[in-house]
Amino acid sequence: MIRFEQVSMRYPGSDRAVLSQVDLHVPEGELCLVIGRTGSGKSTLLKAVNGLVPHFTGGVLSGRVLVAGRDTRDNPPRELADIVGYVGQDPLATFVTDVVEEELAYGMESQGVAPDVMRRRVEETLDLIGMAAVRDRPLVSLSAGQQQRVAIGSVLAAHPRVLVLDEPTSALDPPAAEEVLSLLQRLVHDLGMTVLLAEHRLERVVQYADRVVLVPGHGRPLIVGEPGEVLAAAPVAPPVVELGRLAGWSPLPLSVRDARRQAGGLRDRLEITRRPEVRPPPADGKVIALTRGLIAGYGGVPALRGVDLEVRSGEIVALMGRNGAGKSTLLRTLVGMHRPARGSVTVDGLAPAELRPRDIMQRVGLVPQEPGDLLYAETVGAECAQADRDAGAALGTAAGIFDRLVPGVDLDLHPRDLSEGQRLCLALSVVLAARPPLLLLDEPTRGLDYPGKARLAAALAALSSNGHTIVLATHDVELAAALAHRTIVMAEGEVVSDGPTREVVVSSPAFAPQVAKVLAPAPWLTVAEVAATLQDAG
Amino acid sequence: MNGLPRNLHPGAWWLWAVGLATAASRTTNPLLLVLVLTVAGYVVVSRRSQAPWARAYGFYLKMGLVVIAIRIIFGALFGAPLPGQVLVTLPSIDLPEWAAGVRLGGEVTIEAVLAAVYEGLQLATILACVGAANALANPKRLLKAVPGALYEVGVAVVVALSFSPHLVESVSRVRAARRLRGRHDRGLRGLRGVAMPVLEGALERSVELAAAMDARGFGRRIERDGPRRTSGALTLAGLLGTCVGSYGLLDAHSPPLLGLPLLLLGGALAAGGLAVGGRIAVRSRYRPDPWTRAEWLVTASGLVSAVTLVIVAATGGGGLAPSTSPLEWPLFPVVPTLGVLAGILPAWLAPEPPRSAAAPPSAAATSPARRLEEVG
């Protein structure tokens, strides 16, 4: 179905090849998962399938890419639109119209599908993606999961034979990701569609894959094979696979179900050891942030409905809950970007909304969901210098922090040319230059791969032991499990659960990390904890 | 005869509204003008949907009041003095010799004020007709109805419309983020700090959107340059002709040749251009608004109003322009009145608009039998 023959790709202005001498064959009806580190060339591989690389991006592509027998050399993306459906990471950025039904029809209109056929296919697609009830709703009013489903539906309606998805669930909360994945599974199993899928969140998708393609980066050859074999040696692996590696299980489990069936022995071994050490919440830290009956909203629609919260100095607190539960609003209120409608919020005893920007940044810093919003200089070095001046810190403070977070990045690069993770670290360094005792992060792991996440977790843990208090809003249960002393679950603007992370997440089906699901009822949360326990036990 | 509830083709509403506007442009009789306003208002109230733009008519009426007020003030301050009953005497300013002919202040007569009111009312009525079309026709559907040759322009407008809210949102996001860095949002440097990330973000978004559109088949067409140029030239010439023609038609003082003949010629040219252009594109259209009997009838009713008043005006029929000097009580002339009244027929001829999708959930949950009853 898809055939790469000796494909090499080099972008303009770069002297090293992203892909070199790639040979790959994806047969009809297969779900093929593409994995690899950030910047390894996964997206390039996917975009080469429908000719966006190199027709749209520029650069030199040698070798041949054939899709259903058509060569992408002679067919630009628009001519391949009836064969390949391409879905990107951010559905909102790719919508052309503004109503569900018309978005589904858009591709077919461009391809000149006859009106009666088009009408029929739109109805079929609405049922397939389960959106018939909201067919005439504006796209912006849909939830993130629904939007991604519409984006998939909008390419499906044209009846492509291949579906290419670039990180379709990376930006979604767990329930929304489930919606999208169950749709994908239906496409593969019921319709026999050929799917090529790239994803960072391996724990979500790896059990559905027929084959895994590991893109090692730096132009090294691809590693292709059964999911189990490839993951055994991959630098990126979901926690359940890591647990399997640690326990020496064979074949490696890919899903919680597989692992749980093999985990009997491990559970018994852990049973006789002592419980994992509870990360001590910092002893009698003073209250650094306090909200009482906090109500805040946008244009009369309340996003927070009476939140009472105390954050003590030295704590790491994870804020969880679905999109729109009020997590971001709470963070914005704490940093004074949003004025509470009623109730009180104090940081360090002061109301943040009343403070001057310069005074706020000395007390509390926020890394927003879109770290790029904080950056506007032309080079990384200039950005760091500006941050030092803004914060009144010694020159080189921010650059020093950045270098410790991600060593060896060229300071002359433009911030937009950094990878997602590097950009996040730059924003973090900029905020940290003012040494705020309270640090807030909104969805810090969006778009980060496993090594990137591990580095971020280590950096945050180090900051915490240096006395910073950290509050992070996240969908990432693994990060929360590895890092947070305390987890707060929010729903509909209210706090529904607040307590030590271990107690809150172990029992929850949505927020339990994979290791907890495998080992429940034993309260181990992360592979590192299990490893430490086993080591202690000898 | 209306059939099921549906949206009338937006083009039909616009043609009807232009018909009424043309009728209004031929008379300064305040009674007739108020009748036009009433007719348009009645149709709007009985056939508008629940969409946000459906409230446009009231806004245009208020704008009309402002127009009348401005017309009166200007008439009183600068207008040529009409002899008659003096209402007030404004302090007048004597202008130097070279500005002879220009008057500032002075006597304001009832006749002058009434003349200003009549003319202002005419302008306000034409505006209200545009407002009626805006309230009744879905602007997005109108864009969808553009001919194939103008498709790219239509897409550009649609994309721009959906893009602008994102831009506003991203400006507020970046401004908020600047606070996080301890900056105030003032001055030129602040502007640059906000503009850079916003523009970069917008650029990234548009590149992403372009890639997505390309990947979905946008711009597939048979590559022939000849017809494309012919189509472009014809369409441009046609649109120019239509513009000049409509001006000639609406402005009662321009030479007759500039009016209807030029409008028709322009229309024909544009239609030819669009037809040639339409054949190049391979695209098709999803659920286009049909043009059926109801559309013809609505268009016809607007046309009857327009043609009646144009003919009466051309043949010098009385009652269209009541004299203000000497003062004369305006009357309802029979034929023009009937002509304007023809414009009210869409209130019954047009199909009812479909009820909004955002109906209360209880309505959706009623039994299928109930729903069938409602539809049938």
Q: pLDDT tens digit string along A131-182? A: 999 898 888 888 888 899 999 999 999 899 999 999 898 778 777 888 888 8
Q: Write out the H or E segment, with its range, that includes residue A531.
A: helix A527-537
pLDDT attached to residue B371: 36
Whether B362 is in a domain gets the answer no
Out of A66-80, A115-129, B158-172, pick the least confident.
B158-172
Tallying the residues shown for chain B, one arrives at 376
pLDDT attached to residue B2: 53
Indicate if the pLDDT at residue A400 is higher than 50. yes
Packing angle of the helix pair A100-111, A144-156 (nearest 10 deg)? 20
Per residue in A253-291, pLDDT (tens digit) is 988 888 999 988 888 888 777 666 656 666 667 889 999
Of the two residues B229 and B33, the one the predictor is more confident about is B33
Packing angle of the helix pair B225-250, B10-25 (nearest 10 deg)? 40
Per residue in A204-239, pLDDT (tens digit) is 888 889 999 999 888 888 999 999 889 888 888 888
- Chain A segment 83-142 residues within 8 A of B by beta carbon are 84-86, 88, 90, 92-98, 101-102, 105-115, 118-119, 122, 136-137, 140
A361 and B197: CB-CB below 8 Å? no
Instruction: Identify the band that residue B222 occupies on the pLDDT scale cut at 50, 70 and 90.
Output: low
Whether B49 is in a domain gets the answer yes
Of the two residues B274 and A239, the one the predictor is more confident about is A239
Domains A2-236 and A287-506 share a fold: yes
Domain segments of chain A as ranges: 2-236, 238-272+516-538, 287-506
Residues of B in contact with A140 (CB under 8 A): 165
Per residue in B199-216, pLDDT (tens digit) is 888 888 888 888 888 888
Whether B358 is in a domain gets the answer no
Other C-beta atoms lying within 10 Å of the C-beta of residue B291: 14
Whether B361 is in a domain gets the answer no
Query: Are B230 and B272 in a shared domain?
Result: yes
Residue ending a domain, choose from B166, B191, B219: B219
Residues B21, B27: Cα–Cα separation, whole Å: 10
Residues of A in contact with B161 (CB under 8 A): 98
Residue ending a domain, choose from B175, B191, B219: B219
In contact, A149 and A179? CB cutoff 8 Å: yes
**A434–chain B Cβ distance below 8 A for any pair:** yes
In contact, B68 and B117? CB cutoff 8 Å: yes
Written as six digits, the tokens of B12 are 């039909």
Instruction: State which residue of chain B sits closest to A427, comparing Cα positions.
Output: B181
Contacts 24+ apart (CB under 8 A), B162-170: B162/A95, B162/A97, B162/A98, B163/B202, B163/B205, B163/B206, B165/A140, B166/A92, B166/B202, B166/B205, B167/B198, B167/B202, B170/B197, B170/B198, B170/B201, B170/B202
Per residue in A441-470, pLDDT (tens digit) is 998 887 788 888 888 888 899 888 888 999
Q: Which positions ≥6 away from B127 have C-beta within 8 Å? A: B60, B63, B64, B67
Whether B373 is in a domain gets the answer no
Written as six digits, the tokens of A434 are 């003012």
Instruction: State which residue of chain B sits closest to A384, comparing Cα positions.
Output: B181
A119 and B286: CB-CB below 8 Å? yes
The parent domain of residue B132 ranges over 12-138+291-353
If one counts the domains in chain B, the total is 3
Q: What residue has token string 């269209």?
A: B320
In the predicted model, what is the mean pLDDT of residues B57-70? Answer: 93
Out of A440-444, A477-481, B90-94, B269-273, pick the least confident.
B90-94
Mean pLDDT of chain A: 88
Whether B307 is in a domain gets the answer yes
A305 DSSP β-pair partners: A295
In the predicted model, what is the mean pLDDT of residues A82-86? Answer: 92
Of the two residues A142 and B308, the one the predictor is more confident about is B308
Query: Are B50 and B122 in a shared domain?
Result: yes
In the predicted model, what is the mean pLDDT of residues A335-353? Answer: 90
pLDDT attached to residue A284: 66
Whether B69 is in a domain gets the answer yes
Q: pTM of this prediction?
A: 0.79
Whether B298 is in a domain gets the answer yes
pLDDT attached to residue B133: 92
Indicate if the pLDDT at residue A110 is higher than 50. yes
Query: Nearest to residue B356, comparing CAs of B72, B52, B34, B45?
Result: B52
pLDDT attached to residue B302: 95
SS3 state at A463: helix
Supply the ipTM of this predicted assembly.
Answer: 0.84
Out of 3.10.450.50, 3.30.565.10, 3.20.20.70, 3.40.50.300, select the CATH number for domain A2-236: 3.40.50.300
Indicate if the pLDDT at residue B359 is higher than 70. no
Residue ending a domain, choose from B183, B198, B219: B219
In the predicted model, what is the mean pLDDT of residues A482-505? Answer: 90
CATH architecture of A287-506: 3-Layer(aba) Sandwich (3.40)
pLDDT attached to residue B373: 36
What percentage of chain B reaches a pLDDT higher than 90? 26
Per residue in B94-130, pLDDT (tens digit) is 777 776 666 777 788 888 888 899 999 999 999 999 9
A81 and B220: CB-CB below 8 Å? yes
Instruction: Identify the band that residue A507 occupies on the pLDDT scale cut at 50, 70 and 90.
Output: confident
- Chain B segment 140-169 residues within 8 A of A by beta carbon are 140, 155, 158-159, 161-162, 165-166
In the predicted model, what is the mean pLDDT of residues A71-77? Answer: 90
Instruction: State which residue of chain B sits closest to A84, comparing Cα positions.
Output: B215
Which of B201, B205, B285 has its CB closest to that of A109?
Answer: B285
